Amino acid sequence: MAISFELIERSGRARSGKLLTSHGAVPTPAFMPVGTRASVKGLHPPLLREAGATILLSNTFHLALRPGSERIRDLGGLHRFMGWDGPILTDSGGYQVFSLARLRDVSEEGVAFSSPVDGQKLFLSPERAMEIQEDLGVDIAMALDELIPADSPAEAAKAAASRTTRWAARCAGAKKRGETSLFGIIQGGFFEELRERSAMELAALDLPGYAAGGFSVGESKEDFRRMAAFTASLMPESKPRYLMGVGTPLDLVEAASWGYDLFDCVLPTRNGRNGQLFTWAGVLCIKNAAYAADQSPVERDCSCWGCRNVTRAYLHHLYRANDPTAVLLNSLHNLTFYLSLMGKIREAIANGTLDALKAQLSAGY
């Protein structure tokens, strides 16, 4: 079935709801752990469920390169391939338009990439991006978009936003699989009039959901807050709103207060691999010598296996010994923290206490 979205509670601009898919329901606001290549690094699906995950994100570009969408399709689809029975959303490859700028060429027809791994050529048109995501059998597919740096001038932002709208229309025209729902992406750089135009033109396509793109591309925190909050105000009330690639724990609370429903970010797992653990008091760097003999857990009220069973001293040892168990336990803790935070955000929306939650986090972040 295609997705449906139900709003349950409101508190100011913040809202909680339920996203229904053929692979289960997602309470919103929700955070999506990032499994770029069909794996959240270091964690298998039972651990993701234990952490509280209800929906995962994967990547069209990387799966098209390895192992190929046709192979995944022939093996039963992405859910079966990776052993995850919950909903999956796939980015279209638009982020790689930005991150692999030296290895791609953008035209009206699409984007010609060279693989950063082996030079393999991949051409992503809107139609091909849609075909790949339908081969994968995902619940939510993102339209191909053109993502540009934060300091791009108005003319470049206008051209990219207009092309993104045209590509979204082509994705909608190419869509064949009823179980996959297409989300459009609002672009326009850091220019309010361009964001307004992008949102209006995409709304005319009447897609099942919409995303705010163009963030985490080098902008200041002030510009991010200004434009992300403004973009949320442009998005349809009755459809899920996704803020792409964001962010820190405080970012998530603030963005929920602006009215966003879905989030993704690599911070929990990437920072965990680098020995940085998220807590309610701020970031704890477990690699520091101060924790070598610390017998306390990372956080006493955390439900993750590590906090229930081992000490900071043990996690410090694992990290210093370069033991892969450190990746597992640090990533599991960070995702548990993020997903627990989303539950607290939903509770705060229901209770009208989101400002208090923001104040609590602000002390550490």
Catalytic residues: 91, 264
Beta bridge partners of 114: 121
Contacts of 96 (CB under 8 A, 6+ apart): 61, 104, 111, 113
Asked if residue 262 lies in contact with residue 30, where contact means CB atoms within 8 angstroms, the answer is: yes
Report the phi/psi class of residue 273: left, alpha or beta, with left for phi > 0 and alpha for psi in -120 to 50: alpha
Helix, strand, coil % over all residues of the chain, rounded to 5? 45, 20, 35
Beta bridge partners of 105: 112
Instruction: Provide φ and ψ at 356, rounded to 5°.
Output: -65, -40
Helices (H) and strands (E) in the chain — how many of each?
A: 15, 16
Say if CB 137 and CB 148 are below 8 A apart: no
Assess contact for 209 and 3: CB atoms under 8 A: yes
Q: What are φ and ψ of residue 243, in 5° steps?
A: -100, 110
The residue type at 273? R
Strand, helix or coil at 109? coil
Report the DSSP beta bridge partners of residue 9: 16
